Each structure stands twice: as C-alpha cells, then as structure tokens.
Structure 1
Amino acid sequence: MKKLILLLIVTLSIGNIKGQSKADPVKVAVIGLTHTHVHWILGREDLGDIEIIGIVEPNKDLASRYAKQHGYSMDMVYESMEALMANKSPEAVTAFGTIYDHLAVVEFFAPKGIHVMVEKPLAVSFKHAEKMKRLAEKHNIHLLTNYETTWYGSNFKAYEMVHHDKTIGEIRKIVVHDGHRGPKEIGVNEEFLEWLTDPVLNGAGALTDFGCYGANLATWLMKGERPESVFALAQTNKPDLYPKVDDDATIVLKYPKTQVIIQASWNWPVSRKDMEVYGENGQIIADNGSTLRYKLGDDHKEVTLTELKKSSPLDDPFSLLAGVVRGTIKPLPTDLSALENNMIVMEILEAAKKSVASGKLVKLKN
C-alpha cells in the first residue's frame, strides 16, 4: 500500500499535493446534462472541494427530471452559457453535453480564463482538439479530460508494477477491452442515445465511445510515446439499432517493441472495462477497478490483489479538478487527464477512423 500511495503522488501530482481548504471550494458550473455521466457530479457527496453554482441546459424537461432526482433548484439552471455568465462567476466548468459541443465550451470559457474539464474523449475530431489546445494554451487555462478508468486502483497498481517495480520487464503487448451490450440495450435515456449514435455529434460509434479508453491507457503506460502506426476495423452488427455508426471496433497500435490491441464494442455479452499488460517476464491483468492478477514466468503461481483503491484527492475527477485549479495538484503531461496525453488519444482515434475508411494501415507523421 505504501508503494501504491507513492505511485499516485509521483504519477499525478509531481510530488506537490497540499491540503485543499474546505472553506474555499472551487466554484463549478455544469455545462450540459445530456451525457449521463453527469450523474457522477450531480450525485456526488459534498466533500467541500467544489460548489456547483449553475447548470446550463436548454432542455427544461431533462433538467427538471434530474432536479427531482438530485435535489437541486431549477433556479440554478440557465438556457445558455451567456445567461450563466450574466449571473454567475464560475472558476471552472465541466462539459456533459455532446462530444461535438466540447469545442464550443472551450471557445466560450477559455478567453474568460475559466478552466474546463470535459467528459471523454477530448473532442469529436483531431481538428477540434487542435483548436481546443490552442485556446487553452493562449488563455492559460487547464483543459482536462475525465475517464472512468482514470480512477481505477487496479490500473494504477499495474502502472506501479510496470514502471516502478519493473516487475514484468519491458512492455511487449497491451490489450484493452471496453464496452457493453449496447447503449440501447442497457437503456440509456433518449437524450443521450440521440447524440451517442450520431456520427457527427459523437465522431463515430463504439470506436469513439470505448476506443478512447484504450488509447488513453496505452499512451499513459507508454509514457506519452506516440505509436508508429494505427490499423483499425469497424463494423455494424446491429444495423437495425445503430444504422449510422459502428457498434464494434478493433484498433491496433504499433510501437517499436510493443503492440496495443484496443477492443471497443457495443456487442459484449457483459459490461467490461479491463486491461492486460504483457512484458518480457510476466503478465498483469486488471479485471476491474479494484482487482488485479499477475503471474511472473512459467513457474510462478498467479497472485490476485483485491480492494485496490486510490487515495484522496486522486480518487475522484472533481477533487482532481479542484486541486489543479487551486494549484495543489500539478499534473504531468503523460497523466490520464492531461491535455498532452489526450491530444495523442485524438490522433489515434483520427487515424483509426481513416484506417477503417481506407482499409489500410495509417502511419503517423513524426
């Protein structure tokens, strides 16, 4: 556990985590409610590190339903970002609308010096991502991307074993599986389903929705190295449900001595977010957020670690956001939430879409 805590400090904070003042919460506005991951922040326990001061959502029916569920006042809800800013002064915003809308959120708030956290992936396209990056750098704001798997203790233990303990030697292969039976099958609401299955608003189907997880984790485990090439296959197995987008995708990344296989699907029989890492001397399998199995060599028994957790404030996206805004957490470029990492993620996803369209391997430019 001491090693795990050390890893968390080293990999996400550059050794500078100071106590967050409970009396000085970061003022946050929620921009959009159509991404159902928004329940993460709306239903969050009040830890004293952030204060939600406003919500932007033009769909009053949706906002009212969530108000009843989470107990916020409809007086907090504004129809537009302009209306919000006429009444409130947020220090940071979290974007929970369509992926296509991420650019508009950054275009509006970055010139005002307001920090932004978006839900994964960073953008709907690499072109949008480049614009967002330029705006963030020009106006000196933090632009973070939130993934569920960022908060998995099992993934951080895997990172520790690979890079700090050197347990399995040099990485040779990474395999990441993400997805579920399909958004319609698991019953996501209409507002989410409408844009999640739109190639313009979401960029693709399962390839975007779940391919981004593997690209993010691979970039982190490879310490920010860009792959040499990307090859991808995508198909629609359920055209009656998803006529406009893919529902199954496989992305293969080639590095000088490593291969990464990302399997993103709306066709899994069960929901899953798991990862396998294979090295010269052993293998590590993160089965879920808190369980990890590893085996070293042919003659070693498999060892299972359970109840792996991250320590506060690195166990929650909004605690991280508060710490970054206050300067008590200083993220590394390779970190899972960092802009630099997620620009590589977008480059990978863009190349994957080109590969699907052409049927050819796409080499990344130096």
Structure 2
Amino acid sequence: MMKHLIKITFLLILLSHEVAQASERLKVAVAGLNHDHVFLLLNLYKDKQVDIIGIAESNEILSSKIRTQYNLPQTIFYPDLPSLLKYVKPDAVLAYNPTNEHIHVAEACLPLKIPVMVEKPLATTLSDAKRIASLSKQFETPFLVNYETTWYKSNQQLKQLVDNDEIGKITRILVKDGHEGPKEIGCSNYFLDWLTDPKKNGGGAVMDFGCYGANLMTWLKNGERPISVTAFIQQLKPEVYPKVDDNATIILRYRDGSTGIIQASWAWPYSVKDLQVFGTKAQLYAKNDKELLKYKQQNDPPVVVPTTVPYFEHHIAYLEQVLKHKMIPENDLGSINNNVTVVEILEAAKRSAKEGRTIVLK
C-alpha cells in the first residue's frame, strides 16, 4: 500500500511539474508556413519548448502536410491572420511568409499590441520598413527580426572583443553568406515559389543573403548608417533563377573611412556564413557558428578564441526574455532600428547596381 502511495505521489509531482512548465512556455501563433525556417519552430514545438496555439495559412495542402507531420490539431488552423486573431490571443506572432507580407503582419498585430518576430529581412522596401517601425513605436510593441547568425556564439564573442577595444579601431569588415542555391540545396517548392519572385522577396541573393552582412555591420558599427553604397549584382545561373539575381557584392563606406564588403551568393561551391573584422591592432575571424580566430602578427599563427560569452540558444529563448521584461530592443541584431538600416542598405544596393553608380545616403 505504501509503495503504491509513493508511486502515485511521484506521478503527481511529475504531472504538476509538467503542467507548470507548460504554463510557462511561450504561446505563439504562426503567420504562414511557406518559409522553410518554420521547421525550426515546429521542432521546438515537438520538443515542448514552445506552444503553438494558432496557425494562419491559406494553402490547405501545405496546412494538411504540416498538420499531419507534427500531429497538430485541426482546430488551431485558420485561413488568414485576421481570422486567427479574432479567436486566438498569443503571446507573440511568428511570421514565416513572403517578405513583402511582413507589413500586413505588422498592421494586423501591432494595433492589438501583439509582439511580432519575422524571418529576415524586415521588408522588401524602405517605405514598408519605416511603416513597420512607426507602428511598433506608436503601439509600443516589439517587432523583431530573426537571423540565423544572431545565435552564433562566435559572432557574439567577436562583438564583445570589438567593444572591449581588443582589435583597435575597425578599418574593414568582410562578410560572406550563401550556399549553392536554394534549388540546389533542396528548398521546398512552397519556399522557392516566393523566394525567387522579385516582388515577394524583393530580389534574389542580394536580399536573401545580403541582409546578413548589412545586419552584422550595422551592429558592429553600433547602429551607424553608411554614407554610401556601391553594388554589383549578377545572374550567374539565369537558367535556374531567371527572374532574380543570384550573386551580389555590396560595398559600404562609413564616415570614419572604414569599409564593409558584403558577398552574398546562391553560387558558392559550399554553404558559408563567416565574418571578418580588421582593426588597427588585430583581426578577428568568425569562421562559423562556433569557431573564432584572432590574428595579431603577420607571421604568427592565429589564436583560437574560446566562445564563452553567454547568449541565447535560439530565437524563442530570446523572445521569451524580451516579453518577460516588456522591453523593445534598440540596437541589437533583431531590433527594428538595426533592420530599417538593413533595408535602406539593400534598397540602395539594388539601385546602385541598376544605375551603375554609387548611391550616397542622405
């Protein structure tokens, strides 16, 4: 009898602990399923790290596929975001839809004071980016942008060293981002349909991967806007991507004479997301998400820098803290301030390439 009571007590403790954990988990709604990054969120849901209480998706075939794959209840699916928000009150909305639709998510959520996080970049046009920023400020509600490279321990450690004057004054920043191409690496047709659409994505590789470099450079320069943008945009594989570019080089010039070079491509022979920062005293090289090297003397081998700076593991952990402390981040990688500048840089880059000249930012 005693053993039976102990077993029941133990099960009750486990159950109460699980209920407490569930009540603490972030309750999110999803706007769109046609961005393949949504699987990062769905896997966190599967691992019970977040609760999905609503999904807005107009494509019934895609909805059915996701519902079956992740054993989601039919009752949480809605044909569009306004319909969802009539019945569901999430802690936040996460958008996995075409970039040009981010403005519609902002207009639906921010007046209701529902925080939003979208996948990079913020918008396809500067006017949309500024409109989103205005709504976020007006309704005092966060609108955040998720980049894979935000969660790289190497990048966070690099930033700390730069801020601690470990490399002196920044003279040059180089960023390489991209892969063999979205079709080549097996992106879904749902994703490809809008990713290769010049209106829905705003461009090709220049938007998809150019935003990473602009985001990191604006962060490393503490929010400073460049004074000019020069860009060269190409179609190396027009037979594969006939409507958009697949290769872009963007050069930023800053007031202090430093430069930033962004190399964004769907034509690398391998996947790459690295960051190099040159200073007057040393160079830092974040090779990937974990490896950080420091070069000091010409003939000396690089020093491996331990990536020990604490930071969030993923976007949900970050979002939880933002909402818990009821704050609107001002200058970090996901902030609206940083990302309006990112869109300004990308818009200037497209204009520079089209007109064949350097664009001076006012």
- Whether the 8 Å contact between 2:26 and 2:50 is mirrored in structure 1 is yes
- Residue 325 of structure 2 is matched in structure 1 by 327
Equivalents in 2 of 1:297, 1:331: separation in Å? Answer: 41
- Whether the 8 Å contact between 1:227 and 1:254 is mirrored in structure 2 is yes
Equivalents in 2 of 1:309, 1:55: separation in Å? Answer: 37
Please report how far the alpha carbon of residue 91 of structure 1 lies from its aligned counterpart in structure 2 after TM superposition: 2.4
Task: From 342, 356, 365, give the equivalent of 2:353.
Answer: 356
Matches within 5 A, 1:207-246: 207-246=206-245
- Residue 16 of structure 1 is matched in structure 2 by none
1:315 lines up with 2:352 in the alignment: no
- Residue 338 of structure 2 is matched in structure 1 by 341
Please report how far the alpha carbon of residue 85 of structure 1 lies from its aligned counterpart in structure 2 after TM superposition: 1.9
Please report how far the alpha carbon of residue 310 of structure 1 lies from its aligned counterpart in structure 2 after TM superposition: 6.0
Aligned residues: 342
The one-letter amino acid paired with 1:320 is Y
Please report how far the alpha carbon of residue 66 of structure 1 lies from its aligned counterpart in structure 2 after TM superposition: 1.9
The one-letter amino acid paired with 2:31 is I
Mark the runs of 5 or more structure 1 residues left unpaired by the alignment: 1-19
Equivalents in 2 of 1:181, 1:348: separation in Å? Answer: 24
- Residue 10 of structure 2 is matched in structure 1 by none
Taking structure 1 as the reference length, the TM-score comes to 0.89
The one-letter amino acid paired with 2:350 is K
Equivalents in 1 of 2:271, 2:83: separation in Å? Answer: 39
- Residue 254 of structure 1 is matched in structure 2 by 253
- Residue 198 of structure 2 is matched in structure 1 by 199
SS at match of 1:39: helix
- Whether the 8 Å contact between 2:45 and 2:51 is mirrored in structure 1 is no
Identical residues among aligned pairs (%): 42
C-alpha change, 1:23 and 1:177, in structure 2 (3 Å) is same
Please report how far the alpha carbon of residue 45 of structure 1 lies from its aligned counterpart in structure 2 after TM superposition: 5.6
Equivalents in 1 of 2:308, 2:66: separation in Å? Answer: 29
The one-letter amino acid paired with 1:27 is K
Equivalents in 2 of 1:93, 1:35: separation in Å? Answer: 15
- Whether the 8 Å contact between 2:322 and 2:329 is mirrored in structure 1 is no
Deviation digits for residues 219-267 of structure 1 (CA, Å, limit 9, x no counterpart): 0001111101000000101111111100000000001221000000000
- Whether the 8 Å contact between 1:152 and 1:310 is mirrored in structure 2 is no
- Whether the 8 Å contact between 1:24 and 1:49 is mirrored in structure 2 is no
- Whether the 8 Å contact between 2:54 and 2:77 is mirrored in structure 1 is yes
Equivalents in 1 of 2:159, 2:67: separation in Å? Answer: 39
- Residue 61 of structure 2 is matched in structure 1 by 61
Matches within 5 A, 1:15-30: 23-30=23-30
Matches within 5 A, 1:290-305: 290-298=290-298, 300-305=300-305
Deviation digits for residues 41-82 of structure 1 (CA, Å, limit 9, x no counterpart): 111167876421111111121122222332322322111112
The one-letter amino acid paired with 1:289 is D
Equivalents in 1 of 2:257, 2:297: separation in Å? Answer: 19
SS at match of 2:24: coil
- Residue 8 of structure 1 is matched in structure 2 by none
- Whether the 8 Å contact between 1:216 and 1:345 is mirrored in structure 2 is yes
- Whether the 8 Å contact between 2:120 and 2:211 is mirrored in structure 1 is yes
Equivalents in 2 of 1:358, 1:227: separation in Å? Answer: 19
Deviation digits for residues 260-294 of structure 1 (CA, Å, limit 9, x no counterpart): 00000000000110111111111111110001111
- Residue 15 of structure 1 is matched in structure 2 by none
- Whether the 8 Å contact between 1:49 and 1:322 is mirrored in structure 2 is no
Structure 1 vs Structure 2 CA RMSD = 1.9
Deviation digits for residues 301-347 of structure 1 (CA, Å, limit 9, x no counterpart): 311246x36646x221111112111216x464220001101111111
Q: Which moved more, 1:110-119 or 1:66-75?
A: 66-75
Equivalents in 2 of 1:178, 1:163: separation in Å? Answer: 23
- Whether the 8 Å contact between 1:38 and 1:96 is mirrored in structure 2 is yes
- Whether the 8 Å contact between 1:248 and 1:264 is mirrored in structure 2 is yes
C-alpha change, 1:291 and 1:29, in structure 2 (3 Å) is same
- Residue 86 of structure 1 is matched in structure 2 by 86
C-alpha change, 1:108 and 1:45, in structure 2 (3 Å) is closer
Matches within 5 A, 1:71-150: 71-150=71-150
